[in-house]
Every structure is written in C-alpha cells, then in structure tokens.
Chain A
C-alpha cells in the first residue's frame, strides 16, 4: 500500500505486514525478551522504560500466558490491528503494540506527534531487535508510523484493518469512528475515564512511619509521575472510618514532602491549579474547606459525594476528598466513566464480595495503591486477549 509522504515510518513498513500467529507464540515471547534486554541497556534511566523492559521479560510474559492463555482452545490473532495511541503516557503505544503481538496480530501503530524521548528509544530498540534474522517473521507484524492531519491515510488504514484500538479519549474516538471500516472490524475504544481512591483510616493510622511513607510514595507514583493526567490517576480520595482528620493530616503531609522534593511542573500548572481553586470557590457548591499545601498540592474537601464528579477530573496535583460512612455510597458517583479504584486498608476478599453482590454500572479496575498505572491484558474492563483473537470452535 502506498503511504502518503506526510507520514513517517519509525519501524517497519505497512506493505510488508502479512503475518499472524497463535496467541503467546514462542517466537513473540523470545522477541519480547530480547527486546527487553536491549531496552534495559538503552533505557537511560527513564523509569517508564525500565518498567516497560521489565514488563517484556520472559518471566512476566509467561505469567501472563499462564493467566490468559488456554491451551485447549484453537485460536489465532484477528489479523491486522490499527492502533491510534495517546500522548498522555509516552510508553502507551508500546503496550498497545505488545498486546497486539501477544495475541498474534500484525500491527500498524500511529504514535503521537509529540517527540517523547521514550518513543524514539523504543523504536530504535525495536529496530535493533528486528534486525536479528530469527525475527524476520516478527518484522512482518510491526509497523510504527507518525503523521498528523492526514485524514486520507486514516481512512485507508481503517479500511484494511481487522480491529482498531483507539486510545486518546472521547474526541479521538468519535473522530476515528467516522471512518468506515470492514464489516467485521472491531473497535476497542479507550475513552475518557476518571479514577478514585479509597482509604481505611483506622488501618492507615496504625501504619508505621516507614509504611505510611511507602503508601505516600505509591500514591505519588499513581499520580504525579504522569502529572495526574492518566485516566487511572485518582482525583478523588474517599476516607472511610474514624479519626479521618488525623489520617488526612498525616497522609497529605507525607505526600507534600514527596512533592516538594521531587515534583517540578511547568509554571502554567500553578495558574491552572489556582484557577481551578478560584473557580470552585466561586461556584461555592459542596465545598467544606480547602488546603493549598504548595503550588502542586491542592486538596478540596467536599461536603458530600455528588454525581458528575468526573467533570472535575484534574491534573498537576489537585485533589478532592470526602468522608464516607458506607461503601454503598459509591453508587452515587459510579457510572460508566469511572475506571480505577485504588485502595488501602481493605482486603481483596472483602472488596470482591462487595462488588460481586452490588451491581455497579462502573469501575473496571480495583487495585492497591501504587498499581494505578500498571497496564494489564485486562484493561478498561476489556479482556484484551479475547477481543484480539479469533477462536475456532471445534466440537
């Protein structure tokens, strides 16, 4: 297929894509392991590259295989995937690609126009790994391109793929959906979502200093590392239990220390955060009190949980908090836009039985503090390995 001159190949070539495999094919597992090894050397101390490299290690992939691959089934990749990837998380495109490969598909990955260092390192590493002769077949499964304002190309690609993975929020999704696709094409849209946190105050106050610092660190990693701008970064913290004021004071003070030491966002973020505060004060609704710890840590205490809390999705370290007496109150705010609940001080068993016995129409992930950004083959409520494979039913 001819590709417009406005588009630039970072890896591979669309016209050479023609391979598909079984899910978790040993070839792909070997490829990812080699990729991981090279990436670790090239990672230049970028923590998200180290995380990616870790994700691709044979051991981790085998764990995923154990969890998601059923040897009794006869299944294959769908064929050709078209990934439209977002600019809020620099490594997101790589995970999208890896999911496609693990499921046995060929992949066209459109990366964001912003020149993230991560993107160039990953693409160079992919090219290095693909240059091994043994991966000639994998070479026919990967193509990474960058382009803007090229509707014609998006149109062409939409017509040849078997599935579109559309990251980048509601606006991108409605834009991409305008382009016709094959009748059996599957769209997997990753839309605008919001996320919350839940803390058991009594358990929290029993933590040692070290553990409560660790918890703050985990929360920091869930939020500040991506400017609180990932869909899975919480912006609302729910406090359940006695002595919540004491718990809040300890938690935010610990967090402030980390922010002071580690976080240095652009100046515009100060204006964003202060404007947000003033806007909330002017609207006056539902605000009990607020605290501005520093330019990158604002906390607004809400009187009660009101619906449409997703409209308040924030970034740069701007949080809302509210006391709750009963988990059932989550019903007030749970809707299809609610993605991740990060928790502390509750057992997995308890949460499992609670969510099993309540039919909530939202919340797709419930994970401990520190795992908000850990992407998995079940994401946004989708079981990716099922969606990206074709199963032959043999009776």
Chain B
C-alpha cells in the first residue's frame, strides 16, 4: 500500500485520462483483494456475491458497499489492538451511528491527502480560521459527530482558530470582533456546515455589530448539504448571493465528501463542478444499479484509494449526482471527469406502519 506515499509527491490532479483509469483499476482491484483478506465481513459479502477475485475487474464491476452498512455492521480490516481512532457519524435518517475504524497509517493518510487537496484550492499556507460552530466539546457527541470530524479535519490547516458559537448556540460577538479586527486585512478562512452557515451568518448575525467589509478577504469552505435547512428552499446561487450581499464574502467553496471516506474530499471548482483528485473517482448508477450515461442523474458511488483499515474504498452513497456531459472548465489543469451533486435520494414515501 505504499503507492499513496508515492502519489503524494505529485500534484493532486496530476493523473489524467487513460493513465488514471489504469492506475485506479490496478489499485482498486488490489484494495478489494486486500480487504477480502483482512475483513471477515467484507469476505462474507464478496463470497456471497460469488465474486471472482482472480479476475482483474473494470472499475464499474468492483463491488460497492451501500453506505448504511457502516451503521449496521462493524466493518474493519485491522486487528482490534491497532485501532487508533473510531469515527462516528449519524448521517441523516437513522438512529444508528456509522462506525469507521482507523489505524495510525490510515488516519495519517487522511490528513496528508486532505491537506494536499485543500492546499491546492486555498493556497499553500496556514491561515486564521473562523469556525461557524460550537467548540467540539460543546457539541452533543451522540448525534452530531459528522461536524466534529469535519472541524477536526479542517482545523489542522489553521494557524489560529475561533468558534463563532458559544455553548448556548449564540453568536459570540466579543470573540468574533476581536478575530475580525486582527485578521480582516488579510486572507482568512470561514468554515462550517452549510446549514450552520446559513442559520448563523445569513439569518442570525447582526451586521451592525461588526465592521463593514470585515469578510471581504475571507474564503468560505462549507459542506454537508441542504437537508437541515430544506424548508428555506435554498440553492447554491441563492446561498452565495445572500452571503455576498450580507457580509461581502466573495470566495465561497462548497465541499462534498463522506465521513466514510475522509481525506479524498471534493472541492467545488470556480466553474461550480466537483472534480475527482488522484485519490478518488466517482460513478453514477441508475435504479437498476447499472451505470448511468453522462448527464443522467443517478445514485453516487464514490471510490477512494485511502481506506485501508476498513473496507470503504468503494461505497454506494444515498446521494443523487450526475457526471457533467459537456464543459469548458479547465480548473485544476485537468479535463477529466466533473460531477454535480443534486441532494439526497428521497426517503421512502411515508408508508411505514409505524409512521402516522
């Protein structure tokens, strides 16, 4: 599994076209074999499918694990004593938590890759960071761990960080004003879940309490989707418009990624597309779980080179997306695949016996 160290030497989007395809085919086949050997649960899955490990498969024919399986089962490819960190995530619609087991090697790779991709977008230096959330110790760990994971992941790129909200979920103007006074002239980061940013910076923030143009040099990074603020009938354009109008933020970057695949994250480029890096790929599947054509909306499957301590290298999400059919985007110096995310698959129509 030393290919990652090698790959980290290059630009995050250096692999292109056929070269990337061949590279991924090799690596994902060997990751599949690796997890087959290391994870009893994964082995049961592949044996159940009658999957032929000896044949090298095309990417589209590599099995995928539905994301909710991480809630229902302990999926692990390392010995218990090697567990360095366990991530929990509630997702949106289930009481069970996703459990992701990391050893030191996998955890370190997540940070390295995240940094590689992050610096590619934001620039190569650490910056002050305003986190639109509570301090992790004030977040209810049982149901809100996805945001902690995101905060922990991103805040390592900060040379200074403050949290916008106090333990009562109120904006801490004192801390905010101090931070802005010190940093407003240079580039700084604003980071948070999309819903938190909307609720606090767009809805709650009292503009009169801060100086005008305080945010003009900031870069905002947000992710996590619109589900929690669905009733506001937002989309990306309106969200960005509100932010720009209210506090003058110009550079707003949406990210997309799974707790089940931290590290191999996707940042929206200037043209509004997500572009897979050297560490990830994306496929879109239809209702029959067959591949969609470019431009067709379907279920998003995410492929990542990172997961080694758990079998999460090929995951079927519950998100809707599409591979962009035609584009003139030259961002990240690549012409390769671009995709869009269109929200989550609608929960099954309310026809459950227990739902009245």
Contacts and interface: CB of A to CB of B under 8 A. Distances in A.
Interface of A: 84-88, 110, 112-114, 167-172, 192, 226-227, 229-231, 266-272, 274-275, 278-284, 287, 290, 294-295, 315
Nearest to A264: B287
B300 to A, nearest CB: 11
Contacts of B351: 87-88, 226-227, 229
A268 B318 contact: yes
Interface stretch (B62-70, B122-130, B134-142): B62-70
B44 A274 contact: no
B354 A172 contact: yes
Contacts of B49: 281
Contacts of B81: none
B299 interface: yes
A294 B290 CA distance: 12
Given A87-B350, A278-B65, A267 B356 contact: no
A269 B348 contact: yes
A73 to B, nearest CB: 34
Contacts, number: 107
A395 B62 CA distance: 78
A86 B346 contact: no
Given A271-B66, A275-B69, A278-B45, A295 B356 contact: no
Interface string B295-316: 0001100000000000000001
A266 B353 contact: no
A286 to B, nearest CB: 12
Contacts of A283: 44, 73
Nearest to A296: B287
Given A86-B353, A172-B354, A275-B68, A267 B348 contact: no
Interface in B34-74: 41-42, 44-45, 47-49, 65-66, 68-69, 72-73
A269 B347 CA distance: 9
A174 to B, nearest CB: 11
Given A168-B355, A271-B299, A280-B48, 6 more contacts: A87-B352, A169-B352, A267-B299, A268-B348, A270-B287, A282-B48
Interface of B: 41-42, 44-45, 47-49, 65-66, 68-69, 72-73, 75, 286-289, 298-299, 316, 318, 345-356
Nearest to A193: B353
10 A-B pairs closest in CB distance: A281-B48, A169-B354, A275-B66, A168-B356, A169-B353, A268-B345, A284-B44, A114-B350, A267-B287, A88-B353
A281 B50 CA distance: 11
Contacts of A114: 349-350
A279 B348 contact: no
B207 to A, nearest CB: 34
A266 B355 contact: no
A271 B345 contact: yes
Contacts of B299: 267, 270-271
A116 to B, nearest CB: 9
A150 to B, nearest CB: 13
B354 A171 contact: yes
Contacts of A272: 348
A169 to B, nearest CB: 4
Contact of B352 (A88, A110, A269, A284): A88
B48 A295 contact: no
Given A86-B356, A192-B354, A266 B69 contact: no
B279 to A, nearest CB: 25
Given A170-B354, A226-B351, A272-B348, A295 B289 contact: yes
A282 B356 contact: no
B289 A112 contact: no
30 contacts: A86-B353, A87-B352, A88-B352, A112-B355, A168-B354, A170-B354, A172-B356, A192-B353, A226-B351, A229-B351, A229-B353, A266-B345, A267-B299, A267-B345, A268-B347, A270-B287, A271-B299, A271-B318, A271-B345, A278-B45, A278-B69, A281-B44, A281-B45, A282-B41, A282-B48, A282-B73, A282-B75, A283-B73, A284-B48, A295-B289
Nearest to B66: A275
Nearest to A170: B354
Contact of B287 (A168, A278, A290, A295): A295
Of B287, B288, B351, most A-chain CB atoms within 10 Å: B351
Nearest to B42: A282
A230 B353 CA distance: 7
Nearest to A294: B288
A86 B350 CA distance: 10
A88 B45 contact: no
Contacts of B346: 266, 268
A283 B42 CA distance: 10
Given A226-B351, A227-B351, A270 B73 contact: no
A295 B288 contact: yes
A110 B356 CA distance: 9
A167 B289 CA distance: 36
Contacts of A279: 69, 72-73
A294 B73 CA distance: 25
B353 A168 contact: yes
Contacts of A230: 353
Contact of A112 (B47, B68, B350): B350
B51 to A, nearest CB: 10
Identify the interface centre among A87, A192, A231: most chain B CB within 10 Å of its CB.
Answer: A87
Contact of B48 (A168, A227, A290, A294): A290
B98 to A, nearest CB: 13
Contact of A282 (B44, B316, B355): B44
A230 B66 CA distance: 25
A175 B350 CA distance: 19
B100 to A, nearest CB: 16
Given A167-B356, A192-B354, A274 B289 contact: yes
B97 to A, nearest CB: 16
B267 to A, nearest CB: 26
Contacts of A271: 66, 299, 316, 318, 345
Contacts of B349: 114, 227, 266
